[in-house]
């Protein structure tokens, strides 16, 4: 026992913390040797002194109040670990950031508190440096994201015009093979630049923290149908089977972001597969609904699997042309983080890749909502195939669009402003279609003009709305709008003509008695 008493004394003596024991009046009853080096007081000088001696003058009133409160309700407690302004005062009046741990105890009827005081100068300096570095990194990241978002947006308009002009040139170039080949190459380059722009904008927006998921009931079957619609023609042009499983599942998630995630996975599967299939299927395990995108493509080497989600990382294609920009899976990573999904990849070289999106069962809503019925009126009967009413405030884009649509065989009437568009209202006839930019100068959007036009006409004129930032548009437009298609700028010229043709044939079908 005596041995242990001696050991305790040595431990107290050489503890790295200054140890003091205070009675219920706040007077120091014990101090160890470390008070000499840490606080500049020989232990015996502290005995009988108020603990306030170790606190800077300016903090004494607050400290006394704290001590009073603590002594009323003493408990083991660490002070200073999170309190940044806790400071101790040395005998020479200098101060240092301190961490203090308190332990109350009783001897006979006497109540005491043991306090261990530690110099936190080094830890505080590290914490301060980390906080400063983090603040700086956040600032730089926000600046980068702002720059990218602005640059991407401002680049979209001229890119949109270039795409339309390229489409027009393909039309007027006629059957001159060398010229057609040049234009086809130019189109590929424009497509690549457009994809890069889209991906940069997506990644910067996701990383800037500006995107917060808008949860809703998302019917997986309708998501699959939209994706089939979007990817069918590119699968067909490569001779690939694109298959979607049947599903009744309804998930609580953000529809736009979920579609964006699957678009990237299906886009990759089609890109990296030359023959065979791309399958999109749902399965379940005990914890998750799993949406699996599987392909019979080139596969990914096992040692690269953990890097493919990094920004700009692309597996070395061994002389083959690079097909993407290396941002698709970074977008998948960010979106799944936002939506609370997991993502897992398995792959075999030469056999194919499977990416599983794991959706926790808590997000699975069992019943599919009933299909929405559109009660708005369809266009009246007896019409001729009509004009395109073009509303676009950017002059070069308007001219390029007009040129392209005229070469495609459409007649156009153009408006540069909402006022000009309103002047055209009286001349609109069933069969006409509105093609409008979403973001117009002034208060009204292209969609506002569409609504105003429909109200004035008394029937639903079909419309194509173009926007450089569809994601933001879909945050405002959450309900489907009948006979209205949204397309992204820079527009894919084929998608534009297909949308117009589909709207025109829908309008004809609606007028043909069943």
Chain positions contacting ligand ADP, by CB under 6 A: 268-269, 272, 295, 297-300, 308, 313-315, 324-330, 353
In degrees and rounded to multiples of 5, residue 279 shows phi and psi of: -115, 135
Residue whose CB is nearest to ligand ADP in the complex, by number: 324
Kindly report the number of other CB atoms within 10 A of residue 330's CB atom.
22
102-121 exposure pattern, b = at least 16 Cβ within 10 A, e = fewer = bebeeeeeeebbbbbbbbbe
Cβ of residue 296: shortest distance to ligand ADP, in angstroms? 10
Cβ of residue 173: shortest distance to ligand ADP, in angstroms? 30
Question: Cβ distance 314 to 301 under 8 Å?
Answer: no
Question: Cβ distance 246 to 280 under 8 Å?
Answer: no
- Looking at the Cβ atoms of 14 and 313, the one nearer to ligand ADP is 313
Write a three-state SS string for 448-480.
Answer: HHHHHHHHHHCCCCCEEEEECCHHHHHHHCCCC
- Looking at the Cβ atoms of 277 and 425, the one nearer to ligand ADP is 277
Cβ of residue 250: shortest distance to ligand ADP, in angstroms? 27
- Looking at the Cβ atoms of 19 and 266, the one nearer to ligand ADP is 266
Cβ of residue 202: shortest distance to ligand ADP, in angstroms? 11
Q: Which two tokens stand for residue 231?
A: 């990817």
Cβ of residue 156: shortest distance to ligand ADP, in angstroms? 19
- The DSSP output letter for 322 is P
* H or E stretch at 14: helix 2-14
- Looking at the Cβ atoms of 226 and 311, the one nearer to ligand ADP is 311
Cβ of residue 374: shortest distance to ligand ADP, in angstroms? 37
- Looking at the Cβ atoms of 115 and 327, the one nearer to ligand ADP is 327
Cβ of residue 170: shortest distance to ligand ADP, in angstroms? 26
- Looking at the Cβ atoms of 31 and 261, the one nearer to ligand ADP is 261
In 3D, which of 354, 346, 184 has the Cα closest to residue 280?
A: 354
* H or E stretch at 111: strand 110-119
d(C-alpha 336, C-alpha 324), whole Å: 20
- Looking at the Cβ atoms of 137 and 302, the one nearer to ligand ADP is 302
């Amino acid at each position: 026992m005596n041995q242990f008493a001696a050991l305790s004394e040595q431990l107290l003596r050489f503890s790295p913390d200054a140890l003091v024991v205070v009675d219920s009046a706040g007077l120091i009853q014990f101090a160890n040797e470390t008070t000499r080096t840490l606080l500049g007081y020989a232990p015996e000088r502290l005995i009988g002194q108020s603990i306030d001696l170790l606190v800077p003058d300016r903090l004494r009133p607050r400290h006394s109040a704290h001590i009073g409160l603590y002594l009323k309700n003493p408990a083991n407690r660490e002070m200073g670990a999170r309190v940044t302004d806790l400071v101790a005062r040395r005998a020479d009046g200098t101060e240092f950031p301190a961490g203090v741990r308190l332990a109350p105890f009783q001897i006979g009827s006497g109540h005491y508190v043991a306090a261990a005081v530690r110099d936190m100068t080094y830890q505080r300096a590290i914490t301060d440096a980390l906080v400063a570095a983090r603040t700086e990194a956040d600032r730089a990241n926000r600046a980068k994201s702002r720059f990218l978002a602005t640059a991407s947006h401002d680049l979209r308009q001229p890119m949109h015009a270039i795409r339309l002009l390229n489409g027009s040139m393909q039309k007027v170039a006629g059957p001159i093979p060398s010229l057609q080949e040049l234009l086809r190459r130019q189109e590929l380059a424009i497509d690549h630049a457009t994809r890069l722009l889209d991906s940069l904008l997506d990644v910067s927006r996701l990383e800037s923290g500006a995107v917060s998921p808008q949860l809703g009931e998302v019917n997986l079957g309708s998501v699959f149908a939209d994706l089939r619609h979007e990817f069918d023609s590119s699968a067909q042009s490569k001779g690939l089977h694109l298959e979607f499983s049947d599903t009744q599942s309804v998930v609580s998630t953000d529809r736009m972001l979920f579609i964006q995630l699957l678009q990237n996975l299906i886009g990759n599967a089609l890109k990296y597969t030359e023959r065979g299939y791309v399958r999109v299927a749902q399965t379940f395990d005990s914890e998750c609904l799993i949406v699996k995108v599987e392909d019979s493509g080139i596969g990914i080497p096992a040692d690269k699997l953990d890097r493919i989600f990094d920004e700009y990382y692309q597996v070395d294609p061994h002389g083959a042309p690079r097909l993407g920009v290396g941002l698709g899976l970074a977008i998948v990573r960010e979106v799944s983080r936002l939506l609370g999904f997991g993502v897992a990849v398995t792959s075999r070289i030469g056999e194919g890749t499977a990416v599983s999106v794991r959706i926790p069962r808590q997000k699975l809503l069992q019943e599919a909502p009933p299909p929405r019925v559109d009660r708005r009126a369809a266009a009246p009967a007896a019409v001729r195939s009509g004009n395109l009413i073009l509303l676009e405030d950017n002059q070069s884009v308007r001219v390029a669009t007009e040129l392209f649509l005229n070469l495609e065989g459409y007649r156009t009437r153009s408006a540069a402003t909402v006022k000009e568009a309103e002047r055209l209202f009286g001349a609109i006839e069933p069969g006409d279609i509105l093609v409008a930019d979403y973001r117009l100068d002034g208060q009204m959007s292209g969609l506002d003009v569409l609504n105003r036009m429909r109200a004035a006409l008394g029937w639903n004129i079909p419309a194509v709305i173009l926007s450089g930032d569809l994601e933001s548009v879909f945050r405002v437009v959450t309900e489907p709008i009948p006979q209205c298609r949204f397309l992204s700028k820079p527009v894919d010229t084929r998608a534009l003509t297909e949308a117009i043709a589909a709207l025109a044939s829908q309008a004809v079908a609606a007028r043909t008695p069943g």
